[in-house]
Structure 1
Amino acid sequence: MYPPLLLLGLAHLALSQTAPATLTVNLAQTHQTIDGFGVSEAFQRALTIYKLPALERRRALDLLFHPATGAGFSILRNGIGSSPDSRDDHMVTIQPRSPGSPTSPPSYTWDASDSGQLWLTTEAVHTYGVRTVYANAWSAPGYMKTNRDDANGGSLCGVPGATNCGDWRRAYADYLVQYLRYYAAANITVTHLGFLNEPDLTTSYASMRSTPQQAASFLGVLRTAVAASDLAHKPLLTCCDTMSWSAAPPFISAAAPDVATAHAYTSSATSPLGGGRIKAWMTEAADNNGAWTSTWYANGGAGEGWTWANNVHGALTGGNVSGYLYWIGAQDRSTNTNTLVRLVFQHVRSPESQDRLLVAFFQSLALGMADDDDGENVNLDDDDSIFALLHSRPPSTPPSSSTHPSKPRRRKRGIGLKTPREPRTLRAACLARDRHRCVVTRAFDYQQLKRRYREPPARDDDGNILDGRDQFAHLAVVHILPYMFALTREENGEPTESRKAALAILDMLDYTLTI
């Protein structure tokens, strides 16, 4: 665990329209110890990251765990699998077949992957210094439950009210301990262990129902199994990752875990759990309904950064939490939207661009995209009349993207920039050329030229000296965006929404293009 970070009490905050705010800090008063902040990559989201190309994979990890260039998350929540298979996003169990009875010798199987989580945890712990690993089970294997299925609810056989199918409590406890042994063998210490996830909810995927009394019945068995195990580090036991913060108190009171855990879906962390006598973590929250966004603040939307900053602040001050965990940290754009980092890096050029992913993607797509009308030629000397990706054509080297420059056409609603070849081919060729020779608009190119010659010797991005201005060749227009503009600036001089949207798209490719 990290050295304690003590929250300072805010004793007095006076706000006035006529006087500056006054803040008084009481250094003698301490609040809860902060264990950290974290995310999960359960349900094979870890595999999604692992399957990225090497550079993008590292960038995703940096964004999640790097303390300087990323969020610096210090807690990783893993899902303990219960499924007999790995179809779809199932988390596979370490014991897919029933041993026959609760007292029969177990037959464990370890694939050294754990749905990609072993690799991710190894990176988090040994590359980025993450010290808190939370292993959390959504369900016991189906053969240990009343419904014989790891999904669709059902209860653990042997707890009060579920005794007509044998007593699998100790077998389930041993199962969880064995899972921790596999991680210990990989030089990873699991610091926290949870046996339930949202016991107050039945879902079509891995889920297991429990009452507070049933949870208490099993936690005592689990505590005994952990204490008797050969694990060098005995994990702290949690309970019970309820669907809402308000549903947790009966579970905490009955089970008496080491750490109280709850989610914040149907109610938020506004009051301490367990009377503040034990640590509490908010272990899952996300915007499950809104579209993915990287916006800090626009209108207080559920996915905006400002909203989540307030959520975290409220949990720390009102819920007295010691840990705050978002749901999925990073996942592919084809899956649901409840994620912090969206994995669309395959065609992105720089880390800065990756952090600006589709900030305002096609906000003005209502503009026309047809190019079937001929019109008068556009004056290319008018810097604001065009907006396209350009690249230099050295006199000694044939252009790699096209042997024919585009013919821009003026239309009633905008400008269509035609190219004789497919835009994606031209885009790839242009971006592959030497650095800082892909530019946006002639105005940008001219400003860069002047800026670089102010302090001779002028150099390109790679440090090569630019000997003379006469070396610059004519620019060939390359059509990179299927987009048109009626106006590039409003009457007040501000960029139009069309231009803003296009700049955001170009930021995704390389943020330096639109500076």
Structure 2
Amino acid sequence: MGPHRRHRTSLEGDIDLSESTWRPLNPVERGKAKAAFYDIVNHFDGSSNPTTEKPYSRTKLVRLTYEYSLSDDPRCPFLQEFLRFVNISIDDSINFDDKATVDEIRSGLNSFADFLLNNFFLPLKASAIKTPQPSPAGSSQAPSRHSALESRERVASLRRDCLIRDRHRCVISRNFDLIEADRRYENSGDDFALDDEGQLLIDQDPDSFAELEVAHILPHSLNTTTANPELNKSKAIALEILDMFDNGIVYLIGGPDIDRPLNALTLRIDLHRQFGSFKISFEAMQKSSYWSCWRSELYRGK
């Protein structure tokens, strides 16, 4: 292991990722950084004790967060920040037989996992179940009456656009929107109302209809401000971490763009709640139609 460098720890206070210096890595350096990352997580995966990993597996959180992040940024910010936390440089040779070294790396890994959990995953989960819906009671947490009205109008437009794109069906269960079905029955008559594929609605199972909601993928509240400076700071940190996962995505959802169809799905109400509680995940699939581009996984009892 190289010369001692003081590792970062979230226990010492807030860490401002905007101050992090993530220099571009050449292909050899990227390979070394990735190898060091997997050497570390594989070591602790193999030696972890479930009784000491409660309430969650920090090693697994770090590994899966890296593997599911989409960034092709040549700086490899996730890897560089991880190595900074565990106090390892790209060129270090790690001696896992040295207890002091292993203990220091474990401490840094745990701090990194806790930093991600406390500053990204938990705030994201807390706000993900609060997607505003296009109704007078909807709350955008916007700082003015005018901007609140604009926000509700955007969400109403978002619901319409998502329903059209998703053919008025939940992207998971395929339930047809009950409100839209009633509208089509009223306009066309019970015997002639069709779904978006041209099939008669009256011939479809009554249980195949449900009330649907627009569900933000990244929470609507991430781009709203409040009178609480600490909450605003927390949101800023979450966005910095998000940009570390997928460089440039913050600009795609900046301002009103967070209420665009790119950042939303049509879901049945109960599935929306489970999605917001991290009990459903989506995996991109390579197929043409939008609703077949996702595979949902429901995690029961977790």
In the superposition, the TM-score normalised over structure 1's length comes to 0.16
Structure scoring higher RCO (CA < 8 A, sep ≥ 6) equals: 2
Higher strand share: 1
In the superposition, the TM-score normalised over structure 2's length comes to 0.24
Higher helix share: 2
